[in-house]
């Protein structure tokens, strides 16, 4: 418990390149142009693949965008997003309006089996009904990959179990048409 408080007390400043500053997930423009994916379909992008599990809705982003996949679990409102950027140094979270950084750790252990040297970070909404964003950031096949879970107030613990299943379902994928077209 003391270690947790010490981690929270340690300030960590990071300069985030302008190219990685994105709008918060709730206001990503162009979501209406995303292609819906059926349950059971296999999504591929940035060297990763994921079978869309039962109970989730999924939309694949346009190939020219950074947001590759957006999923939502309608019963809980939990969202899961996969982003891809050109490498910008040490992978880490983008700033989000109204979401104060709470925790950040660069790890050499494998918190996500298909990725190595994952940075994990969490931010918490400033309002009582704000969201919690839990993210995993790594380099994969020459791209910076951001995996982010967005939990609404009151869904953090139940949502983490759902997201854990998604993370364990991630697989490596060979180069896809999407990357070839970039």
CATH number where 123 lies: 3.40.1000.10
pLDDT surpasses 80 at 48: yes
Q: What angle do CA 43, 44, 49 make, to 5 degrees?
A: 85
27 Cβ partners below 8 Å, 6+ apart? none
Contact criterion met (CB below 8 Å) for 67 and 148: no
pLDDT band at 19 (very low <50, low <70, confident <90, very high): very low
Residue 15 within a domain: no
Number of compact structural domains in the chain: 1
Residue 179 reports pLDDT greater than 60: no
Q: Residue 6 falls within a domain, yes or no?
A: no
Q: Answer yes or no: is 20 within a domain.
A: no
42 domain-assigned: yes
Q: What is the pLDDT of residues 58-102, one digit of tens each?
A: 999 987 889 999 999 999 999 999 999 999 888 888 888 888 888
Residue 27 in any domain: the answer is no
For residue range 104-139, list pLDDT tens digits in order: 888 766 678 888 889 999 999 877 768 999 999 999
pLDDT of residue 54: 96
Q: Which residue has the tokens 């910076």?
A: 144
Asked, for residue 161, whether it belongs to a domain, the answer is yes
Give the residue numbers spanning the domain of 78.
Answer: 34-181
**Does 13 reside within a domain?**
no
- Per-residue CA distances from 68 to 87, 146, 153 (Å): 16, 10, 25
pTM: 0.77
- Does 12 fall in a domain? no
């Amino acid at each position: 418990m003391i270690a947790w408080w010490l981690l929270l007390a340690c300030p960590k400043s990071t300069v985030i390149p302008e190219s990685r500053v994105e709008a918060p997930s709730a206001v990503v423009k162009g979501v209406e142009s995303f292609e819906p994916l059926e349950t059971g379909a296999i999504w591929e992008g940035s060297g990763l693949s994921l079978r869309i599990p039962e109970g989730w809705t999924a939309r694949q982003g346009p190939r020219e965008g950074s947001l590759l996949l957006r999923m939502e679990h309608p019963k809980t409102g939990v969202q899961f997003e996969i982003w891809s950027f050109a490498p910008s140094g040490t992978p880490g979270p983008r700033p989000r309006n109204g979401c104060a950084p709470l925790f950040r750790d660069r790890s050499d252990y494998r918190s996500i089996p298909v990725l190595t040297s994952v940075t994990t970070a969490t931010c918490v909404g400033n309002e009582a009904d704000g969201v919690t964003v839990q993210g995993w950031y790594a380099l994969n096949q020459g791209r910076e990959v951001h995996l982010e879970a967005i939990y609404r107030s009151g869904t953090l613990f139940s949502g983490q179990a759902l997201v854990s299943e998604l993370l364990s379902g991630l697989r490596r994928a060979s180069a896809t048409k999407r990357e070839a077209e970039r």
